[in-house]
Structure 1
Amino acid sequence: MPQPLPSLASLRSFEASARLESFSKAAQELNLTQAAISQQIRLLEDRLGGALFRREARRVKLTELGRLYLGLTASALHDMESAFETVRALARPHALVIKTTPTFASYWLLPRLNAFQRAWPAASLTVTAVEASSGQFDGVGDVAITTGQDQWHGFITTKLFDIDLVAVASPAVARRTDLGPFLAGNTDAIIHTMKRLDDWALWCMGAGVPNFHLERGTILFNSALSYAAAEQDMGIVIAEEAMIADQLAAGSLVEVHSAHVPSGRGYYLLERDHRTRKPIVDAFIHWLQQEMRATTLLLSERRGLGLSSSQG
């Protein structure tokens, strides 16, 4: 039969002592006495059946058992603390918990969120970034914003916009990119996004140019990293046009080709089915849809002015 789990106080005392290499410093951080920390560690060691620390003159050092236990428990403790803070945030007046992808959070939502906070100064906002493919949109939250093809069950889904793919780079990279060799597939200045490995193939098919395979260029984990790398002159990336609307307007990214290729995906707003909307959620969704329309209008105006390509 499994033994009862150690107390959270013991785990927190252990983690702080291991990180600070000191019972006294751990006591200061946790607002406890050094004797209380020592007692929690002794209780934990008794439960485990072995020493977690070597006591030295002015500090403590982890034993092999201690290092093993820290590696197995540190992330779990962090997850418990994160879960507590998330649920506590939900209980606050005017609380709004938004889950979205790292790219949407970094490139679209955060640059605009000040406007919502000015309109709702009492709002208490929590933004959590999780990968679209991770399945974590099922957890705690008032709304989620993610990309896909309307495949979520148990949610009310609202499409915010369709995703068009464009080939973009920094102005410096765009200036030195010879369009002829690029369209023939002859360049190594390519950025691939691990989370969207099909995007180059989709864009190339739509643009009528040869595909750029993975053996050429740089591979980065997600779109947020890829766009940042492109802004730092690392190469050409296939971007979701609406996500980089601000960068296109500011000129930190420019299009190296005029093709705008539908991806077959969209960005969706997800709400839990059968959940009563709070007034703050109503306000956020109304604001979000207004901002989405403004982004769409900005991109349409750019195309109408012939600003969609740096190469003419």
Structure 2
Amino acid sequence: MLKHWPPLNALRGFEAAARLGSFHKAAEELHLTQSAISQQIRSLEGYLEQPLFYRSGRSVSLTDAGHDLLSTTQSLLQQLAVGIRRLEQYSKPNQLVVNTTPAFARHWLLPRLGDFHRRHPEIDLWLFTTDEAPDMVSQTIDLALRDDIAAQAECSFQLLLHDRLYPACHPALLETPTAERTTLHGEREMDWSHWEVEAGVDVGQQGHGLNFSDPGLLLDAACGGLGIALVSQLLAQQARASGLLQPLAEQSVRGPNWAWLIHRDSESSSLTRSFCDWVKQQLTADGSP
């Protein structure tokens, strides 16, 4: 890493002069005087301790070093421009930043997102998914809706529902003998040891098989016919309604608790209220546990 960087204005002046092949045209493009462009390039050449242009009267051409620096400078300025433009998303007047897990976003929220957008086209929703619960104080998040979240400072906490888990597989897998079905293992409550302790029912689960840290991938694998899995009643609603999952037992066991955190700066926002009301309506309509 360089300890000292050449001034950005000097790099902009160099890029324009190199691209246009003229100090005069560069000055016009950047709304500067030609002498200002010349001074910027001289200072840059002094910093680099080598010439960047061949000068012949009013015409200029790049040295080998100049050609090399031009490609680097153009890439740098382009990346900077994109980065600055990207910052606009943080200041949109109707933006609502919602954090959740990849599994909830993919299996519950995404299938319903069209309905939300039709009802609230004025809301510029930014769905921010992370594997770990966010720090609401240090991150720009209005609301976090997750199954692994606890109360945090400067936020209101509300428990939404108690999820239930049940064993399931793709209907086609029912034709395979029980002992030959692959067991899909998850983490936390979705580990089969949880089922065995709380339900005590043998559905053909085995200690070995395929293992998943993401409950969304676990559900995808079950829907794809890879094996039997302990799935979330909340997340599996769409898959079960679509005929991709068949329960293996009537029992269900306790699952994770879903809750949300709302940052105090967003709590009174009409955007936040609209999203929260919509989520509650959807959960009620689904008959969620």
Normalising by the smaller structure, the TM-score range is 0.5 to 0.7
For 1:102, the equivalent position in structure 2 comes to 102
SS in 2 for 1:243: coil
Contact 1:163 1:262 in 2 (8 A): yes
| AA aligned opposite 2:185 | H
Which residues of 2 match residues 203-282 of structure 1 at below 5 A? 203-209=195-201, 212-213=206-207, 216-263=208-255, 265-273=256-264, 275-282=266-273
Stretches (4+) displaced over 6 A:
5-10
Contact 1:155 1:270 in 2 (8 A): yes
1:240 to partner: Cα distance: 1.2
Contact 1:99 1:137 in 2 (8 A): no
Larger radius of gyration between Structure 1 and Structure 2? 2
Superposed CA offset, 1:102-154 (max 9, x none): 000000001101111111122211111101x3545552121111113634444
Question: What CA RMSD, in Å, does the superposition of the two structures yield over aligned residues?
Answer: 4.1
For 1:201, the equivalent position in structure 2 comes to 193
Tell me: CA distance 1:130–1:149, structure 2 relative to 1, closer, same or farther (3 Å): closer
For 2:127, the equivalent position in structure 1 comes to 127
Distance between the aligned counterparts of 2:175 and 2:9, measured in 1?
A: 59
1:33 to partner: Cα distance: 4.0
Task: Count residues in correspondence.
Answer: 237
| AA aligned opposite 2:172 | A
Tell me: CA distance 1:98–1:149, structure 2 relative to 1, closer, same or farther (3 Å): closer
- Unaligned runs of 5+ residues in structure 1 are 14-26, 37-42, 48-54, 61-65, 67-76, 182-186, 300-312
SS in 1 for 2:147: strand
For 1:155, the equivalent position in structure 2 comes to 155
Distance between the aligned counterparts of 2:169 and 2:275, measured in 1?
A: 32
TM-score (norm 1): 0.63
Distance between the aligned counterparts of 1:9 and 1:165, measured in 2?
A: 60
Superposed CA offset, 1:41-75 (max 9, x none): xx8xx88xxxxxxx9xxx99xxxxx9xxxxxxxxx
1:219 to partner: Cα distance: 1.5
Tell me: CA distance 1:125–1:274, structure 2 relative to 1, closer, same or farther (3 Å): closer
- Unaligned runs of 5+ residues in structure 2 are 27-43, 49-63, 73-78
Distance between the aligned counterparts of 1:172 and 1:219, measured in 2?
A: 21
| 1:141 to 2:141 alignment | yes
Distance between the aligned counterparts of 2:8 and 2:282, measured in 1?
A: 43
Tell me: CA distance 1:142–1:134, structure 2 relative to 1, closer, same or farther (3 Å): closer
